[in-house]
Amino acid sequence: MSDRESLLRELPAVDRLLQEPALAELLGRMPRRLVLAAVQETLQGCREKIIHGAGGTGDGLSDLSVTSLAREAVERAQKRARPGLRPVINATGVILHTNLGRAPLAAAASEAVAGIMEQYCNLEIDLEDGRRGSRQAHLEGLLCELTGAEAAVVVNNNAAAVFLILNSCAAGKEVIVSRGELVEIGGSFRLPEVMAASGARLVEVGTTNKTYRRDYEGAVSDETAALMKVHTSNYHMIGFTASVDAAALASLAHDRNLLALEDLGSGLLFDPTRYGLPPEPRVQDSIAAGMDLVTFSGDKLLGGPQAGIIVGREELIRRVRTNQLARVMRVDKLAVAALESTLRLCLDEERAVRSIPAWRALTFSLAGLQERAEALAATLKERFGEGAVGLWEGTSRVGGGALPTAELPTVLLSLQPPRLEAAVVAGRLRCGDPPVLVRLQQEKLLFDLRTVFPEQDPLLLRALFAAAGGGTPQ
Ligand SMILES: *Cc1c(COP(=O)(O)O)cnc(C)c1O
């Protein structure tokens, strides 16, 4: 009998492995099918290594004992049992990172969600008179108060909001948009395509860098329903440019009996220049400028849950709300709870800026970031040596298609892991628990603490020690 065959015959049976104490213990707290799958996978992996191993002698199979196979199966089972969607530490310095879930919720918003999640709630009941109410009632008053609009309606996301206002107010008609504003937002939201799907016909005017009032005027016809402005939220044009501002566009639209619509994208409620950030229009500015309907996201600079918010004139909002398609993009109760709570925080700007994580990150002081980075660097140096650790000046990004020109000065903590490639360590950090996402630059791992919550610093340190072979921090 060949070595190969004898090795295969020595492999324990599935049932034998399941009797190992470590696996028997898992069976008590994990679904049986999951543990079974992990055991089968382990044995199959082993069989393949025996069959394809060099020379058929099972090279690379250091230990075929039942204990070691059980250990591997336990690891596989634990991996299978881990939730797919998990919290991660964001050390990239991109505050609204769409791939990392955009805005983390404020504690109050998360408590509001937890508070209704396992209970019945008054989502669509008017508690005063016991009659059927609207889920929008929990949000509309707050939105009107914060933006100065007459009415508001919330849907699933801003792409849906744009689609819905166009479908409700301009289906079969023309909507005039500047060429400089036909943007593609991350995740391939392209206004021309959304517009086409909504049934409105896009009429492009102006050139990429310049659009004047007369360009819109010249394009108005009997078929025109609206003039639309789209905030170029993820890029900025500099140099020889011209565009028509919200007030001028609204006044032209109204002179011609047309609607003025605006897709603002990020939905800023606070003046960014107060915090040293570049100017950008707020929702209330667009309403004050005379826009009839304005749309924005819930999870960009508002710092709330994914949602598409539409504010504007009452009669138009009614049209949007009664559109059959509004039902297709209905906001769910968990988002209603989170959004209501976030909007309540926004009634008090100081408090909002302190408690909404995206705003906290936007307004962290450089001195505070420096202090945290220095503390982490000191511990890292003890383990990895002076030369492996550094502090650098850098910039954080707002991300999420908001404030594209904002350069937030930050401190970057760098680690050049000894003996290991930076990319390997970055991969281990991603697969750790919790996963850590970092920047990689020229064989260095870079950590921007602006997007790491201060209370996560010890966790980050522990993850780094584990991934870069440093044991556990003291
Ligand atoms: C982000 C953005 C959108 C899409 O918003 P979602 O909430 O992600 O659907 C649409 N328009 C503009 C201008 C944006 O910035």
In the chain, CATH 3.40.640.10 covers: 105-355
- Looking at residue 347, what is its pLDDT? 98
Average pLDDT of the chain, as a whole number: 92
Ligand 1 neighbourhood includes 231 CB (under 6 angstroms): yes
Whole-angstrom distance, CA of residue 218 vs CA of residue 200: 19
According to DSSP, the β-strands at 151-155 and 308-312 are antiparallel
* 185 ligand 1 Cβ < 6 A: yes
- State residue 231's pLDDT score: 87
pLDDT at 69 over 80: yes
Give the model confidence (pLDDT) of 359-379 as tens digits.
Answer: 999 999 999 999 999 999 999
Residue 87 backbone phi and psi in degrees, to 5: -70, 145
- Confidence band (pLDDT; 50, 70, 90) for 217? very high
Beta bridge partners of residue 176, listed in sequence order: 203, 227
Distance 185 CA to ligand 1 centre (A): 6
Look at residue 237 in the predicted model and tell me its pLDDT: 66
Instruction: Calculate mean pLDDT across residues 284-299.
Output: 97
CA dihedral 137, 143, 149, 150 (to 10 degrees): 10
Q: Is the pLDDT of residue 187 over 70?
A: no
pLDDT at 185: 65
Q: What span, in angstroms and rounded, lies between the C-alpha atoms of 386 and 377? A: 9
468: tokens are 């870069």
Q: What is the pLDDT of residue 61?
A: 56
Q: Which residue is closest in CA terms to ligand 1's atom 8?
A: 158
DSSP H/E element including 293: strand 293-297
| Cα–ligand 1 centroid distance for 283 (angstroms) | 14
pLDDT at position 55, please?
46
Q: Where are the beta strands (DSSP E) in 317-443?
A: 389-399, 408-415, 436-437, 439-441
Q: Looking at residue 130, what is its pLDDT?
A: 94
User: Which of 442, 445, 443 minimizes the C-alpha distance to 465?
Assistant: 445
pLDDT at residue 235, as a whole number? 59
421 contacts 380 by C-beta, under 8 angstroms? no
pLDDT digits (tens, 9 = 90+) for 158-186: 999 999 999 999 999 999 999 988 876 65
Query: Residue 284 is encoded by which pair of tokens?
Result: 């209330």
Atom 7 of ligand 1: nearest residue by CA position: 158
pLDDT band per the 50, 70, 90 thresholds, residue 236:
low
Secondary structure of residue 427 in the 3-state scheme: helix
CA of 401 to the centre of ligand 1 (A): 8
Both structure tokens of 191: 């206004």
Residue type at position 220: V
Residue 233 has pLDDT above 90, yes or no: no
Cα separation of 13 and 128, whole Å?
A: 66
pLDDT of residue 58: 47
Tell the CATH topology of 105-355. Aspartate Aminotransferase; domain 2 (3.40.640)
Q: How many CB atoms lie within 10 A of CB 193?
A: 12
pLDDT classification of 270: cutoffs 50, 70, 90: very high
**Closest atom of ligand 1 to CA, residue 159:** 9
Nearest residue to 89 (alpha-carbon basis) of 361, 459, 444, 411: 459
With a CB cutoff of 8 Å and minimum separation 6, the contacts of 364 are 450
**Model confidence at 308, in pLDDT bands (50, 70, 90)?**
very high
C-alpha dihedral over 449, 455, 458, 461, to 10 degrees?
A: -20
Evaluate if residue 333 carries a pLDDT over 90: yes
Residue 117 token pair: 């999640």
**437 neighbors 88 (Cβ within 8 angstroms):** yes
Distance 297 CA to ligand 1 centre (A): 6
Q: What is the mean pLDDT of residues 208-223?
A: 91
The amino acid that residue 294 corresponds to is: V
CB under 8 Å to 335, separation ≥6 — which residues?
154, 156, 298, 305, 306, 307
Token look-up 């921090």 returns 473
E strand or H helix at 33: helix 32-52
Kindly tell me if the per-residue pLDDT of 62 is higher than 80.
no
Q: Is the per-residue pLDDT at 331 higher than 50?
A: yes
Is the domain covering 89-97+362-468 a CATH 3.50.50.60 domain?
no
Res. 64 pLDDT band, cuts 50 70 90: confident
SS3 122: coil
Overall pTM surpassing 0.85 (yes/no): yes
Q: What is the pLDDT of residues 82-126, one digit of tens each?
A: 999 999 999 999 999 999 999 999 999 999 999 999 999 999 999
Q: What is the pLDDT of residue 56?
A: 45
Judge contact between 445 and 99, C-beta under 8 A.
Answer: no
Residue 228 Cα to ligand 1 midpoint, Å, equals 15
pLDDT at position 414, please? 97
**Distance in Å, CA 456 to ligand 1 centroid:** 30
Segment 382-408, tens digit of pLDDT: 999 999 999 999 999 998 767 777 889
**Quick check: CB of 230 below 6 Å from ligand 1?**
yes
Domain(s) labelled CATH 3.90.1150.180 in the chain stretch across 89-97+362-468
